[in-house]
Amino acid sequence: MYNITEIKDQNQQDCLSLLYLHLAGSLAECCGRSAAGTVREAIRRMGRDMGSSLRKKHVAAGVKTNLRSLYGVGLEYRTDPRMYEEVLADSEEVCLWEVRTCPMADLWNRAGAGEIGLWYCEEFQRGLVTGYTGGRGQMNQSTFLTCRRDNHCRFSAYLRAANLDGEQRRESFPFPGEETGPSAPPLKDATFAEGIGLQFIKMYGCLLEAARERHGDEGVCAVALGLRRLAGEVTPLMKLHAAHTREVCDEAFLRLNFPIAPDVSQDPRWLDCVDPDAPRLMQINLLNALKTELLRR
């Protein structure tokens, strides 16, 4: 049984999963077999960007930038309460863990899109470790919840001190006499909404960027089509969520159950998008539809 706050977090998480499903699916439909490489590159880029950004914050805070810091001091925000992980090893050089339940994989599998979901599963953590370690770490995933033969995801991350030198060695691992753990307190614990909103914008921005680079206008149109299809699914879903919790589906409800604000001008994170058309395309193809259908009186 989940409380009302956890239910709202789950609603936002499902919107992120649906964003990936519709954008990756639309690219596959419109751009053919080459879409797989485009989506994979976008998700790797998303992971690298997030890992690199987190590394800069940790360096500034005096946190040793090893794997224990990445997955311990961590990604700053809580995970979906439906996610269940079992940690098998947790050290500065080696992190091993298994994911037994994952809401993203569950949603993609129910939609019959496990293969498309696999593109995300194989690339995000790899990109995250690459970005956080400056390309010196390794990530391996041997089993996948999006694969019918597997019943868990198995992740293995490595960052060997012996493979580092100079400044990165000093930043990542303590020398004799130094503390073995992070040399600074954990960073500010962001809310679930802050974390999921960042992922939503970053995922969309990277998919649009890669689609334009590899497929030109055809790729941009595919992303726009995916956003329109997402609007068609999210609109009745938000109404259903509101009915189930006996709430009015107004802007206040949308802010608690949808990952981003209904107007891009209300969120400064859109300024970080590489593609200058990203905010406008999001507003036209998704957010205006939500405002029209959900916020009208």
pLDDT for res 2: 78
241-280 per-position pLDDT tens digit: 999 989 988 888 998 999 999 999 989 999 888 899 999 9
Rounded to whole angstroms, the Cα distance separating 288 from 295 reads 10
Name, in order, each residue with C-beta under 8 angstroms of 61's C-beta and a sequence gap of 6 or more.
184, 185, 187
pTM exceeding 0.95: no
Name, in order, each residue with C-beta under 8 angstroms of 284's C-beta and a sequence gap of 6 or more.
224
**Residues 240, 174 contacting (CB under 8 angstroms):** no
- Report the chain's mean pLDDT, rounded to a whole number: 90
Rounded to whole angstroms, the Cα distance separating 174 from 231 reads 49
**Residues 251, 262 contacting (CB under 8 angstroms):** yes
94-120 per-position pLDDT tens digit: 999 999 999 999 999 999 999 999 999
